[in-house]
Amino acid sequence: MTAKSSEDFWNTSSSSAFNFDDDEDDGSQPEYVFTSIPEENSILSIHSIISKTSLNLILDDLKSTNEYVAPPVEEVILKMLTGQKYSLEVYKKFTDKLVLLDSALESMDGDIILNVILFLKSTLRPNIFFHQLAKRKLAVKHYAIHLIVNNHYSEVADLYMRTGLNSNMKQLYYLIGRDIRNKESLLKRLETFTAEHLQKVNNNDDKLEILENSQLLKWQVEKNENCDSIIEQLAVLCKNEFEKNKNSIEILLDFKKRLKIDDFAFEWTVLNVLASMELWPQLTELFVKPNWLTKKNSLKTVMPAEIFVYGLSRHESPKEILELYLPYISDSERGLYLAQKMNCHKFVIQHYIKERDRLALIQYKSKVSPQDEEYFLIKNALLSNDKKWKN
């Protein structure tokens, strides 16, 4: 290289030689020395470090390690059946919880069913919980028993209402009173129930029964009585009254009115009490009344005469008492049948005599004992010339 070409190189080269004159301050500085680098140029894209595919693989792997897969429901039910350790908390999904409930019901094991129900109660919103129970009546039954055993009667009422089992409210009324011996305490508790829940009872007959029972309880508290039902109380009252005063039923009629006892139940109870006490005159006085139109006595009762006679026969009433009431049966053939069943021979014999049925009378003669009054009644009728027999 010549001296000229060497000089040209340094003067024209992009790599200039060091110049001490560069240190001289010319009053101006490069802008980039004191200004910040633009923000967009300071953030590096993650994909400049790792590919998108590799990043997704890493994220998926982290997700799989954080998620816990719940075991099959069958495994947990089996552990519960065999007394092994188990956890229901691993079932987070709503669908899994329903499968768990259905599997518990299929197991028919009360403890398993209850444990699963209580788990659902603690993890589901109340409206969803009751809605699902309403679809599974067996689940409602098990949960109700659990609440009843633990005396959570308000919760039982809520359960019945929210699952559409209003018909069970009457059952709850009687359950509330169990194990309470003191009548006054029982009355207070049942009055509270009636005030809070009676309007929820849909069946009118159930409502009426609850009200009648409450009226009985009030009456018993006032009179210091202690029977389990209205009819039983009526029977006891009837017996006591006729033992003290055999000619008055005013207290009985007052009890009937207050407790709204229907005529049939009242008369049937009084009939049975008087028959059991063998108070036949009082029975006749109450139920046999003169008929001014026919000039004969008639049976004054809402009961059919056949039922009345049957009621008497249950107490082994004397034959003459039964025969006193048998004529009140309007169907003579039915009356005859009952008389034969109850061995009321005199009534049967008189019926055949009235019907002028000689052959029937002869056949019936074999059913009575010789020397009995009924035997001579048949014999005398057959020997009488006053009868014109039809056969």
Q: Give rounded-to-5 percent helix, strand, coil for the chain.
A: 65, 0, 30
Q: How many distinct helices (H) and strands (E) make up the chain? A: 21, 2
Q: What is the DSSP letter of 386?
A: S
Say if CB 327 and CB 360 are below 8 A apart: no
- Out of 39-48, 163-172, 324-333, 341-350, least confident range: 39-48
With bands split at pLDDT 50, 70 and 90, how would you rate the model's confidence at 62? low
Say if CB 238 and CB 279 are below 8 A apart: no
Higher pLDDT, 119 or 10: 119
Strand extents, DSSP E, 137-199 = none
pLDDT (0 to 100) of residue 42: 54
Q: Which two tokens stand for residue 35?
A: 């200004």
φ, ψ of residue 291 in degrees (nearest 5):
-105, 110
pLDDT > 90: percent of the chain = 49
pLDDT (0 to 100) of residue 309: 96
With bands split at pLDDT 50, 70 and 90, how would you rate the model's confidence at 20? very low
- Token pair 């005398």 is at which residue? 380
pLDDT (0 to 100) of residue 31: 47
Higher pLDDT, 246 or 183: 183
- Token pair 């699952």 is at which residue? 163
pLDDT (0 to 100) of residue 28: 47
Q: What angle do CA 242, 212, 196 make, to 5 degrees?
A: 150
Say if CB 119 and CB 87 are below 8 A apart: no
Residue 162 C-alpha from the chain's centroid: 13
Kind and range of the H or E run holding 346: helix 345-354
Mean per-residue pLDDT of the chain: 83
Query: Whole-angstrom Cα distance, residue 140 to residue 130?
Result: 9
With bands split at pLDDT 50, 70 and 90, how would you rate the model's confidence at 14? very low
The answer for residues whose C-beta is within 8 angstroms of residue 251's C-beta and 6 or more apart is 237, 241
As a dihedral over the C-alpha atoms of residue 134, residue 138, residue 143, residue 147, rounded to 10 degrees, the angle is 110
Q: Of 33-47, 169-183, 198-212, give the range with the top mean pLDDT.
A: 198-212
Residue 119 has pLDDT above 70, yes or no: yes
The answer for residues whose C-beta is within 8 angstroms of residue 27's C-beta and 6 or more apart is none
pLDDT > 70: percent of the chain = 83
Q: Which two tokens stand for residue 4?
A: 């000229």
What confidence tens digit (pLDDT) does each residue in 121-147 have?
999 999 999 999 999 999 999 999 999
Query: Whole-angstrom Cα distance, residue 271 to residue 273?
Result: 6
Query: Whole-angstrom Cα distance, residue 294 to residue 322?
Result: 22
Residue 274 has pLDDT above 90, yes or no: yes
pLDDT (0 to 100) of residue 32: 44
Q: If you write DSSP's letter for every residue of 32-56 in order, what string do you get?
A: GGTSPPPGGGTPPPGGGTS-HHHHH
Q: What is the DSSP letter of 328?
A: G
- Helix 169-176, helix 153-162: angle, nearest 10: 180
Stated pTM of the model: 0.58
Amino acid in the structure at residue 188: K
Higher pLDDT, 61 or 273: 273
Say if CB 321 and CB 280 are below 8 A apart: yes
Long-range contacts of 244-249 (CB under 8 A, 24+ apart): 246/279, 246/282, 247/282, 247/285, 249/286
The answer for residues whose C-beta is within 8 angstroms of residue 169's C-beta and 6 or more apart is 157, 160, 197, 200, 201, 206
Higher pLDDT, 54 or 368: 368
Amino acid in the structure at residue 39: E
Residue 130: CB atoms within 10 A of its CB come to: 19
Q: What is the DSSP letter of 167?
A: G
pLDDT mean over 77-103? 92
For 302, the 3-state DSSP assignment is: coil
pLDDT (0 to 100) of residue 16: 45
Residue 213 has pLDDT above 70, yes or no: yes
